[in-house]
Structure 1
Amino acid sequence: MTVKLLYFILSFSLLISSSGLQADDGTDAMAKILPARLASHVKFLADDLLEGRGTATRGYDLAALYVMTEFQQLGLKPAGKNGTFYQPIPFRKATTIRENCSFILIDKEGEHPLEYGKDYVMAADYSRPQTSASAEVVFAGFGVTAPELKYDDYAGLDVKGEIVALLSNAPASFPVSARAHYNSALQKEKNAVAHGAIGIVTLRTADDEKRGPWDRVIRQNKLSGFHWKDPSGQPNNFFPQIQITASLNKDGSTKLFAGSKSTFDEVSQQAKDNKLHGFPLGFRASLKKESKLEEAESPNVIAVLEGSDPALKNEYIVYSAHLDHLGISDPVNGDPINNGAYDNATGVSSILEIARAYTECAKRPRRSILFIALTGEEKGLQGSDYFANYPTVPQKSIVADINVDMFMMIFPVADVVIMGAEHSSIGPIAEEAARTNGLKVSPDPTPEEVRFVRSDQYSFIKKGVPSIAMTAGQQSTDPSVNGAEAIKQWLRTIYHSPQDDINQHFDWETGVKAIRASFLTGYRIANADQRPTWNPGDFFGKEFGNK
């Protein structure tokens, strides 16, 4: 009798295992994420018919409709506004009227006009059709004040009523997390306002020119900008104290320092050597700008898979990816449509396939899963920032964000970089998920690019939500490929151009590995007893964790 009972138990266990009725660890559903499905989404979203998916354009609306219908056919529930899949966002749209802008340097020898496009560009103002400023120009390093690091670029400077000239980025001596945070243009603008400045001129070094060609800056400067509006109708993160902003290229920056005690090349080297000191530049600057202001609207697309646990279903894991791209610009090689195949048709396609995998799980995860296709990322993380400020679920119920942005498949990738892994308890989960899918995990090879604050996960981080983004590393399984050089070349020649289209090489098998890893990361978080936590002493945890 005992032998028969044991035989029955073993046989039943084998039957359960072979029939898929065992405790679901997500791997079966993960395996259903397939290259062909990923490719089909990307091919549609990056098609010329969508005209580059520019924020608040017909092309973006078509892309949003595609995502919404995909969510519907998967059986997901709407999680937008008023029982729909859409979260409409009111925007202030602003366009610089280039021909009515001017930037004149003035010294004892007279006026020295700079040329728009050749030396400088100006971002539009989001509240005033015309603005101007005339004041002394003071070099204030990176424009950073970081008391916890005993660093202050404004120390010893009086910039009240003046125009500050600032280097891009942040001190290389800072820890990576702090450098990323203080690199933010918003942080620099807030700091300039706190010190009484009325204008900001951003300076591009030779290294900046290598990373991003000036002709790309000019092309994008011709496009309209967007800031979401608060309930009172005011554009967000707008500081009326700052009358004017401009960016100078390397040649323009050199002209600005022509009469100072240090050349721009010398200052650039001092920045690398961590020996910066601010000083007046010896020029007075007179700047004028004209902007065209309009109202616009563009939606985030949001769906939810309700969790299975009676209590934990009220907590949410977010998968986010920006749906927008640059739209139509001046042509490059005769092509004006910025299709954004990698940036970020791949990301939206990824969360669609991740959503499919969740619907095919043997059992729904314990926590609920929120899928968000975001608008306005290319305009300064606008869609994610709006959602973070006006979430469609209780803000405190969002326990993690897994953002998917531009996973590069231009060669067969052997490793991934998990942005944010070092900040929270999500890190080990994501690393294990990557290894489960045959991907090595590497540290960020280019921390100076501060990529962690340049995509939508940062909007969630600023609300205290632990977040990650899984990106491609630089190692290839093909020994003939120099991955680092291939990515560097792509970023310089293809990124944010019409050449980011479906005609490039896509190693779909590589992409699927990364998507499966992102799925598995979220699945394990969703089924864990405890929500993710910031690591003890983490910079972002201390800065934002109590929000």
Structure 2
Amino acid sequence: MKHLLLSAAALLLARLAAPAQTIDQNAEKALEAAKPAALEAHVRYLADDKLRGRLPGTLGYQLAVDYVTKQLQDNGVAPAGERGAYTQRVRLRRAFVEPGATLRLQPAAGAAEALGLGQDASFYPNPGQAEVRLENAPLVFVGYGISAPELKYDDYAGQNVKGKVVVVTRQPARQFGDNERLYFADVRTVLETAARHGAAGVLLAAPRADAHLPDLSKGLVSALGPDGKVAVSRSYAPGSAQLVGSISAATLQRLFAGASQDTAQALSALRGGRPASQALAARLSAQYRSRYQEVDSYNVVGKIEGSDPLLRDTYVVHSAHLDHLGVGAPVEGDSIFNGAHDNATGVASVLEISRMYSKLRPKPRRSVLFVLVTGEEMGLIGSAYFARFPTVPAVALVADVNTDMPTIIAPLLSVVPLGADHSSLLGQVQTAARYLKLAIEPDPEPTQNRFIRSDQYSFVVRGVPALHLKYGNRTADGQNNLAETVQKWRARTYHKPQDNYVGGTFDWAAGVKYAQLNFLIGYLIAQNPVLPTWNKGDFFGARFGK
């Protein structure tokens, strides 16, 4: 890995010496390898009923693993998983709250009150501690649960929460920009912040009176690390935060009884950009147990080795999630959630990308990984596991180009490169899009948290620049209203059995162009002697950058 230890001066010289990138004849010829019929064949197989919705840990998911492994082999992609194989084992633990849980509120005055589970509050199962018991724990309201002194804002300032239960509102922190708000609103960030301050529990308060508590009847999934302990979770932060739960807006008002400010005053101050943290007069007692179901699932990892002796030990990742939702309650008579667009089309795209790389002579300067991950629908579990325990040295990962639900239902004329504007990857996106005559558009829905809701985010939090390409709004008739069509399609199809190959809507030529764009971006990154860098002052780069 000595090439990664270049001095800052040498890196600067390389940057100054590197010419503007263009699409060379080697890449142009490789583009011809992607075929509409091949994309369709991949989706037809992966979305077939016999795969039963590709739920991790099932035979149907294993059929998908076997299929993509064979396709990578056929494309000349070498194994890059564990022990010389194409797979990386991910031990999944699904946790459920056992019946008999209790939650009791002791107000400042009067008798203790039982809180109704499912109506007033709900518990998150604890994947790392089977029994949770708190007796008469003090409560502290900590606003949004944000601790960011670097942004001159800290809900924990002046509050000692060690051994206490913190109460956090889920109302949006509108005083922050989109990036900061996305990061700090993530439940994982809230829990990690609370654990870092020594809190014994976290209660997430519903933002509105009509908001429903989360339905956790199907449990929550985490991944166990090589040591058998919880290593990856969206709902658990190893440390001192034992209790995690949600409470209704009405319950939040009950917790504030006897406090120096009421909820209206506190929430008004927060909306005005001022912390409103305070100790609450009530105390909380809770007791519940979690039970676990564990299964093995697998990421699939393949490699095309780079041609440059100095750069081949660094890796550009092309990722997509292989899993979907399995079998569920029937919708219009169908109970198999086939996931044709989500994400068989994304997996098909990566397989065709690998075919394009296989045609390159010579291979790109850096090596390329193809990572098909498990457990995305469970909370980005498989990608987070790979990013934390990569099958190559972690420092060698230089970029991730993720593919999730490209939504190939119309001609591809423009794209939204989610995340590219955080780093130098935008340059490769612009070059590739220009070559394919595609327009680049900004994210039309920044408040939808799309950047942190797909597998590229697992790489971002490990310091790796990453992006995810979505369709833009441009249409051939000039109306430029594709978003409206997509919204109608999603309402009918997304996360439903209707997301099927049979009877589905697909534009396979658009799928080829989408795969070609992703390939060109990855190829340009792999060819560039200069490492991708976070933009100066970028929020994610400053927080996570290597």
- TM-score normalized by structure 1? 0.84
Measured after TM superposition, the shift of residue 106 of structure 1 is 4.3
Cα 1:192/1:94, change in 2 over 3 Å: same
Q: How does 1:248-263 map to 2 (within 5 A)?
A: 248=247
8 Å contact kept, 2:195–2:239: no
> What's 1:199 paired with?
201
Cα distance in 2, alignment partners of residues 431 and 125 from structure 1: 44
- Secondary structure of the residue aligned to 2:51 is helix
Go from structure 1 to structure 2 and tell me whether the alpha carbon gap of 1:522 and 1:384 turns closer, same or farther (over 3 Å shift): same
Aligned to 1:150: 152
Code of the aligned partner of 1:545: G
1:240-280 Cα deviation digits (max 9, x unpaired):
52221112456665666688777767766665553452335
Structure 1 residue 544, shift from structure 2 partner: 2.5
Deviation at residue 69 of structure 1 after TM alignment? 1.0
Displacement of 1:321 in angstroms is: 0.9
**Superposition deviation, residue 370 in structure 1:** 0.8
Mapped to 1, the partners of 2:481 and 2:270 lie a distance apart of 30
1:536 shift after superposition: 2.6
**How far 1:427 sits from its partner (Å)?**
0.8
CA–CA distance in 1 between the matches of 2:226 and 2:192?
22
- Correspondent of 2:223 among 210, 224, 228: 228
- Residue 63 of structure 1 aligns with which residue? 64
- Greater CA drift, 299-308 or 116-125: 116-125
Q: Which residue of 2 aligns with 1:33?
A: 34
**Which moves more between the two structures, 425-434 or 143-152?**
425-434
CA distance in 1, matches of 2:266, 2:45: 47
In 2: Cα distance, 1:257 partner to 1:466 partner: 42
Three-state SS of the structure 2 residue aligned to 1:443 is coil
Post-superposition Cα deviations, 1:501-536, rounded to whole Å, max 9, x if no partner, equal: 334433333333322111110111222232322223
Structure 1 position 373, deviation (Å): 0.4
- Is the aligned partner of 1:244 residue 2:243? yes
In 1, are the aligned partners of 2:451 and 2:457 still within 8 Å (CA)? yes
Deviations 1:173-230 (A, max 9, x none): 2233333332332222121123232111223325995xxxx59x52xx2334332223
Q: Specify whether residues 394 and 167 from structure 1 end up closer, same or farther in structure 2 by C-alpha distance, changes over 3 A only.
A: same
Name 2:373's counterpart in structure 1.
374
Q: How does 1:324-339 map to 2 (within 5 A)?
A: 324-339=323-338
Partner in structure 1 of residue 140 of structure 2: 138
Contact 2:209/2:248 (<8 A) preserved:
no
Task: Measure how far apart 1:372 and its partner are.
Answer: 0.5
Could you say which residue in structure 2 is the equivalent of 1:6? none
Q: 2:3 maps to what in 1? A: none
In the TM superposition, residue 295 of structure 1 has moved relative to its aligned partner by: 3.3
Q: What is the deviation of 1:336?
A: 3.8
Return the alpha-carbon distance in structure 1 between the equivalents of residues 351 and 333 of structure 2: 32
In the other structure, the counterpart of 2:96 is: 95
How many Å apart are 1:351 and its aligned residue?
Answer: 0.5
- 2:125 is equivalent to residue 124 of structure 1: yes
Deviations 1:457-501 (A, max 9, x none): 222223322211112234444556744445555666654444443
Once residues 74 and 151 of structure 2 are traced to their aligned partners in structure 1, the CA distance between those partners, rounded to angstroms, is 51
Cα deviation, residue 170, structure 1 = 5.8
| Cα displacement (A) at 1:163 | 1.9
Q: What is residue 43 of structure 1 aligned with on the other side?
A: 44
Which letter maps to 2:63?
A: L
Question: Structure 2: how far apart are the matches of 1:544 and 1:324?
Answer: 27
Asked if structure 1 preserves the Cα contact closer than 8 Å seen for 2:301 and 2:372, the reply is yes
CA contact 1:50–1:58 (8 Å) conserved in 2? yes
Distance verdict in 2 for CA 1:173–1:39, change over 3 Å: farther
* Range that drifts further, 284-293 or 65-74: 284-293
Match of 1:389 in 2: 388
How far, CA to CA, are the matches of 1:131 and 1:507 in structure 2? 51
Q: Give percent identity, aligned residues only.
A: 39
* SS class of match (1:319): strand
Q: Please say if residues 400 and 467 of structure 1, whose CA atoms lie closer than 8 Å, have aligned partners that are also in contact.
A: yes
The 2-side partners of 1:431 and 1:424 are apart by: 13
TM-superposition CA deviations, 1:379-423 (whole Å, max 9, x none): 332222222222222222222111111223345454321122122
Q: Per-residue deviation at 1:57?
A: 2.2
Unaligned runs of 5+ in 2: 1-22
User: Are the counterparts in 2 of residues 27 and 520 from structure 1 also a CA contact under 8 Å?
Assistant: no
CA distance in 1, matches of 2:428, 2:167: 43
> What displacement does 1:71 show?
0.8
Higher mean displacement: 27-36 or 279-288:
279-288
Contact 1:377 1:455 in 2 (8 A): yes
Give 2:416's aligned amino acid.
Answer: V
Change (3 A) 1:65 1:224: farther
Q: Do the aligned residues in 2 keep the contact of 1:223 with 1:329 (CA within 8 Å)?
A: no
State the SS of the aligned residue for 2:422. Answer: coil
**How far 1:128 sits from its partner (Å)?**
2.8
> What's the C-alpha RMSD, in Å, of the aligned pairs?
3.1
Residue matched to 1:166: 168
Residue 293 of structure 1 deviates from its aligned partner by 1.9
Match of 2:8 in 1: none
Distance 1:482 1:104 in 2: 52
2:310 matched residue in structure 1: 311
Match of 1:542 in 2: 542
Query: Once structures 1 and 2 are overlaid, which stretch shifts more, 471-480 or 223-232?
Result: 471-480
In structure 2, the residue corresponding to 1:358 is in which secondary structure?
helix
Measure, in 1, the Cα distance between the counterparts of 2:499 and 2:255.
35
Deviation at 1:378, TM superposition (A): 2.5
Aligned to 1:17: none
User: 2:16 is matched with which residue?
Assistant: none
Distance 1:275 1:538 in 2: 24
AA paired with 2:340? A
CA contact (8 A) 1:170 1:182 kept: no
1:335 to partner: Cα distance: 4.1
Distance 1:520 1:114, change over 3 A: same
2:51 and 2:173 map into 1 onto residues whose CA distance is 40
- 1: distance between equivalents of 2:177 and 2:209? 20
Distance 1:27 1:123, change over 3 A: farther
> 2:530 corresponds to which residue?
530
Q: Can you list the C-alpha shifts for 1:84-128, whole angstroms capped at 9, x where unaligned?
A: 11111233332233x333444443455554444445443221133
Distance 1:202 1:47, change over 3 A: farther
Q: Matched residues in 2 for 1:400 and 1:530: separation?
A: 12
Verify the 8 A CA contact 2:91 2:294 in the aligned structure 1.
Answer: yes
Q: 1:78 to 1:178 in 2, by over 3 A?
A: same
